[in-house]
Structure 1
Amino acid sequence: MTEITSIDNAVDDAKNAPMLQVKNLAVSFRTTYGEVNAVEDASFTLHRGKTLAIVGESGSGKSTTAMACIGLLPGNGRVTGGSILFEGRDLVPLPESAMRTIRGRAIGLVPQDPMSNLNPVAKIGTQVAETLLVHGLADKKNVKDRVVEVLSAAGLPDAAERAKQYPHEFSGGMRQRALIAIGMACRPRLLIADEPTSALDVTVQRTILDQIDTMTEQLGTSVLLITHDLGLAAERASELVVMHRGRVVETGPAAQLLNDPKHPYTQSLVRAAPSVAAVRLRPGAYHEDAAKRTAVAQAAFEEHQADADSVEQAAPTDNIVEIRDLTKIYKRRGSSEDFYAAKNVTLDIPRGQTVAIVGESGSGKTTTARMLLKLIEPTSGTMTFDGMDVATLDKAQLADFRQRVQPVFQDPYSSLNPMFTIERIVEEPLNAYKRGSKRERAARVRELMDQVSLPHNALRRYPSELSGGQRQRVAIARALALKPELIICDEPVSALDVLVQAQILRLLGDLQSELGLSYLFISHDLAVVRLISDYVCVMKDGELVEAASSEEVFQNPRHPYTRRLLASIPGNELNIA
């Protein structure tokens, strides 16, 4: 009788225990330079049915802490101290065989990088089905229906058709949604979400987070959210843990902590976060002729909507780029219907100013940028750069065009050759176009390093030896090498933490002021767009639905889709100071 009572008490203790308790956790990695302490003395508690967010910049230890909780540290990593209690049971001493029974069914994971976590040679539906079958959540008879149900719940349209496609046929945001579907399929009691929406647009992000919230309410699931987006953390988490250099520096209720941060590091995060304090951080003034340009640009757009033939007469005169009725059509595989990646896009880029294109994945913003870069050819429409028709450039003119228009891509790691030193990467455009002597090129490289605030001793390093922010500065330095007039920035800060993001945005602003650069800024982050843009163009399903000054779009949006985008910004309604 005593033994039965003891068992009942143990069951009751497990039910009453917090979902996750991390006590004095220490994690280290064995490296060629010795033992490196990645996490030290970290403690926090996640209660049942609640969401706790861990925030901090890259290298702060937040993802390492999450991976320790699920037993997925790299081979050279190990827990060197503390305990990880899941429903009262310490996971640290458990063997891998025991962890496999917990991982997936009891503790789910949504990892960050969709390309490295999806099998490139297996269809999306097959990968979701594998998860369902392994954990006994479906049988072979109904697994297809369950796959469609799970993909639909994760926000994927046409789920039945999408299940038949491969990862390379998905956009980045769609791949991330597939990962979320796999992580949510098992209906785990604890879901660890490591930057689950970093690749998603705000409207899709809200859909996914609403679905996670629904799961939390209906199933009592607890969520450990790893993010660098403070607005998202404030909106979705009840508790917040701030990590810096492997240590927990502040914990508390999310909204309270972000409204009144005590630790200097937390204060710096809040100041740097556009998604939390967009109104306070946005530019307060524009160029002297901003009001005039705003009126002309808006008039041009409205006149185009009524009568496309009359747009050219209403367009501003001092534009470095003028795009008229630009259209890109792709043939659908296995379908007689055409796909319009861009449809009748008309916009201008005034010289020395920033025009932002915003919209969801698949809205046509990157397609428009690629056509302007002449990486893909438009189906119809015209593009002029400094008065020249881009479509009719001969070989010499095209070479000149490519020197005057330069891109900065989203991922600062994949856009840099990992086998080249930083010096060779920055010097590459100068060599390609035979600019100057060897000595002059070396001097120019050092000048560029100064412009992007990188030390000269970084020239002998490789991309893997730099942080994400430093790599993006290298990408900007390379883009500046040929002294271009227009830089096309395709999601240049979406992969960066808020502190580094703020540094890059300030750098772009300083360079524009110093060098008179024009920017076409592609982004799905409206808070970032508000900080940097003079004009905003909103795209949906390949079409331009609204175009006006940044002030006008954010203060008085006209199109319902624009209003929906603005309403979806995480933390937008919290008014965090």
Structure 2
Amino acid sequence: MADSPTPLLQVRDMAVDFRTIEGPVHAVEGVDLEIAAGETVAIVGESGSGKSTTAMAVIGLLPGNGRVVRGSIRLDGQELVGAPESTLRRIRGGAIGLVPQDPMSNLNPVSKIGTQVAETLLAHGHATAKDVDRKVIETLAAAGLPDAEARAKQYPHEFSGGMRQRALIAIGLACNPRLLIADEPTSALDVTVQKTILDQLGRMTGELGTSVLLITHDLGLAAERAARVVVMHRGRIVEQGPARQILEDPQQPYTQALVKAAPSVAAVRLRPEAYRSVAPAASGFEARNDSAAARGNSAAARDNIVEIENLTKLYKIRGRKDDFAAVSDVSLAIPRGETVAIVGESGSGKTTTARMLLKVVEPTSGTIRYEGQDVTGLKGAALREFRQKVQPIFQDPYSSLNPMFTIERIVTEPLDFYKRGSSKDRAARVRKLLDDVALPQTMLRRYPSELSGGQRQRVAIARALALNPELIVCDEPVSALDVLVQDQILTLLRDLQDEYGLSYLFISHDLAVVRLISDYVCVMKDGALVEAASSEEIFTNPRDPYTRNLLAAIPGNELDIAS
């Protein structure tokens, strides 16, 4: 701040209201914020805290029913509140760039990537019709996209999540803005891709001297990437200051709760001073997995509820002679009453493995044993019996719940399907399940759209518990949730495991979350299992370079946080 007497961005006593049929909603109240030239400031807080609303007010992109009702927003001394739309259009994309959260919904699916970059360049006079193609390629290449000339001719659906995010970064920085607003730019990406994208963003903004307003719910990421952190809660700033100070000595109870709940911060506190290079002896978990094929149905296998041996799934790809191996020769075991996590980047095969266990996808070869019984060929009544014992919890609690059903009907549905008890018994069971997941009985008559993300995930857990399963397959169950809600759901899963003796197969790309929930960890890469050991061993003595790269990519990993 000392390098610039007048901050690039000055927000003073800003208030934002949204008009609704029930009256105005005060989304943001009395926000004061400054960002110096070349400075990175992060706003953190849970969903609904007002952080994205604050950012959209700065860039003039509030929804139609939202408006700044009080206060001042100045960019380099120019007042933006009340400025004509023509002025705001010139500033958006020119002086202020934006990298939005969801790269798929924020790129035009029917327009080529190069065309979308060209629109920004042409609109702000940074290219002419003659040189726009060259500048598009230069812009995409600067954002780290390989073979930028070919990529410019592709559509968004032909890009991976990381590539789409790079395209949005290219658009956001195409006109060399003085301020870049990055709204949860990597929340949907794997940790390694996330680190690559943030490194690229840091390099580009550093070279351009661009200030950054980073919106995130991850305090570890904020502290690693920003000089200052602003904490928002219920539309107000409750605390702000140097990033390390906020992380190590939070003053407000809400900030303290955020720091305590952040998985990335917890993972950093649990890490050793340095990973030892000497390979450890095989753990008991590794020994069980390595000898799974040899044991078969012997008595020694009874401590494992599931044993997977040499599991392979091949897919035929149009235009390719060779089959694609989504999962290749995977063997692992799930001990009874414990949590085994499968981690890896997108495309590593972890979800395909889970779907084969759930009997949603048929394996090409290999064996899946449940309670010593080979379930790969189950059909009819035997398959229905198996599916009552093994239940899923999916990633998105909204799309996995029928929006036309009430919560009561959603949780009752598996009981009705399997004809468990009388209607009176089922109603009592549903009420007990809501108690188990800490939801009030008043939720029974509501619909999924009337619940928060965390409440919807609790409903999904209640539904999974309805048939008294022994094993629950959790496929990214908290990746779409804020850190405080993540912490609540992870605590709930642990409590339910203790109460009912549940076993979990936990699928995740977030190693910080895995560190907190798992007893054992299996690391997958390109469809193969590259490392398997106890959670403690994986996080303190990673042997495979890929595992070490995953651990190094945890947000905040480079911070030296006191325990």
| Alpha-carbon distance in structure 2 between the residues aligned to 1:165 and 1:316 | 51
| Alpha-carbon distance in structure 2 between the residues aligned to 1:365 and 1:158 | 29
| Alpha-carbon distance in structure 2 between the residues aligned to 1:25 and 1:319 | 58
Q: Is the contact between residue 296 and residue 316 of structure 1 (CA under 8 Å) also seen in structure 2? A: no
Q: Which residue does the alignment assign to 1:506?
A: 491
Determine whether 1:383 maps to 2:368: yes
Determine whether 1:295 maps to 2:283: yes
Query: Counterpart of 1:398 in structure 2: which amino acid?
Result: L
Q: Is the contact between residue 162 and residue 197 of structure 2 (CA under 8 Å) also seen in structure 1? A: no
Q: Which residue does the alignment assign to 2:54?
A: 65
Cα deviation for residue 261 of structure 1 reads 0.8
Q: Which residue does the alignment assign to 2:516?
A: 531
| Alpha-carbon distance in structure 2 between the residues aligned to 1:123 and 1:313 | 55
Comparing both structures, which one devotes a greater share of its residues to helix? 1
1:542 and 1:187, CA in 2 relative to 1: closer, same or farther beyond 3 A? farther
RMSD between superposed Cα atoms in Å: 2.5
Aligned equivalent of 1:347, options 332, 336, 342: 332
Q: Is the contact between residue 426 and residue 445 of structure 1 (CA under 8 Å) also seen in structure 2? A: yes
| Alpha-carbon distance in structure 2 between the residues aligned to 1:32 and 1:294 | 63
| Alpha-carbon distance in structure 2 between the residues aligned to 1:24 and 1:168 | 42
Aligned-residue identity in percent: 73
Q: Is the contact between residue 277 and residue 575 of structure 1 (CA under 8 Å) also seen in structure 2? A: no
Q: Is the contact between residue 169 and residue 201 of structure 2 (CA under 8 Å) also seen in structure 1? A: no
Aligned equivalent of 2:220, options 218, 231, 235: 231
Q: Which SS does the other structure have where 1:384 is aligned?
A: strand
Aligned equivalent of 1:260, options 225, 239, 249: 249
| Alpha-carbon distance in structure 1 between the residues aligned to 2:319 and 2:496 | 47
Counterparts of residues 445-524 of structure 1 (less than 5 Å): 445-524=430-509
Q: Which SS does the other structure have where 2:88 is aligned?
A: helix
Determine whether 1:549 maps to 2:534: yes
Q: Which residue does the alignment assign to 2:193?
A: 204
Q: Which moved more, 1:164-173 or 1:446-455?
A: 164-173
| Alpha-carbon distance in structure 1 between the residues aligned to 2:162 and 2:512 | 18
| Alpha-carbon distance in structure 1 between the residues aligned to 2:144 and 2:467 | 43
Query: Counterpart of 2:219 in structure 1: which amino acid?
Result: L
Determine whether 1:363 maps to 2:363: no
Determine whether 1:573 maps to 2:561: no
Cα deviation for residue 300 of structure 1 reads 4.7
Q: Is the contact between residue 391 and residue 464 of structure 2 (CA under 8 Å) also seen in structure 1? A: yes
Counterparts of residues 5-20 of structure 1 (less than 5 Å): 17-20=6-9
Q: Is the contact between residue 301 and residue 311 of structure 1 (CA under 8 Å) also seen in structure 2? A: no
Q: Which residue does the alignment assign to 1:12?
A: none
Which stretches in structure 2 are left out of the alignment for 5+ residues? Answer: 272-280
List per-residue Cα deviations over 1:415-449 (Å, max 9, x = no partner): 22222221122112222222222222211111110
Aligned equivalent of 2:549, options 551, 560, 564: 564
Q: Which residue does the alignment assign to 2:276?
A: none
Q: Is the contact between residue 535 and residue 549 of structure 1 (CA under 8 Å) also seen in structure 2? A: yes
Cα deviation for residue 352 of structure 1 reads 1.1
| Alpha-carbon distance in structure 2 between the residues aligned to 1:243 and 1:201 | 26
Cα deviation for residue 170 of structure 1 reads 4.8
List per-residue Cα deviations over 1:299-327 (Å, max 9, x = no partner): 355679xxxx6585998542221112222
| Alpha-carbon distance in structure 1 between the residues aligned to 2:106 and 2:14 | 27
Q: Is the contact between residue 297 and residue 372 of structure 2 (CA under 8 Å) also seen in structure 1? A: no
| TM-score, with structure 2 as normaliser | 0.91
Counterparts of residues 261-410 of structure 1 (less than 5 Å): 261-278=250-267, 280=269, 295-301=283-289, 310=294, 316-410=301-395
| Alpha-carbon distance in structure 1 between the residues aligned to 2:44 and 2:408 | 34
Query: Counterpart of 2:367 in structure 1: which amino acid?
Result: T
| Alpha-carbon distance in structure 2 between the residues aligned to 1:331 and 1:224 | 45
1:486 and 1:127, CA in 2 relative to 1: closer, same or farther beyond 3 A? farther
| Alpha-carbon distance in structure 2 between the residues aligned to 1:385 and 1:404 | 10
Q: Which residue does the alignment assign to 2:419?
A: 434
Query: Counterpart of 2:241 in structure 1: which amino acid?
Result: G
Determine whether 1:55 maps to 2:49: no
List per-residue Cα deviations over 1:103-150 (Å, max 9, x = no partner): 112211111123322333344454444444444555667666655555
1:350 and 1:154, CA in 2 relative to 1: closer, same or farther beyond 3 A? farther
Query: How many residues align structurally?
Result: 549
Determine whether 1:98 maps to 2:98: no
1:134 and 1:380, CA in 2 relative to 1: closer, same or farther beyond 3 A? farther
| Alpha-carbon distance in structure 2 between the residues aligned to 1:359 and 1:159 | 27
Counterparts of residues 104-143 of structure 1 (less than 5 Å): 104-137=93-126
Query: Counterpart of 1:118 in structure 2: which amino acid?
Result: L
Q: Which moved more, 1:258-267 or 1:127-136?
A: 127-136
Q: Which moved more, 1:173-182 or 1:23-32?
A: 173-182
| TM-score, with structure 1 as normaliser | 0.89
List per-residue Cα deviations over 1:145-179 (Å, max 9, x = no partner): 65555555545566666555544455555544443
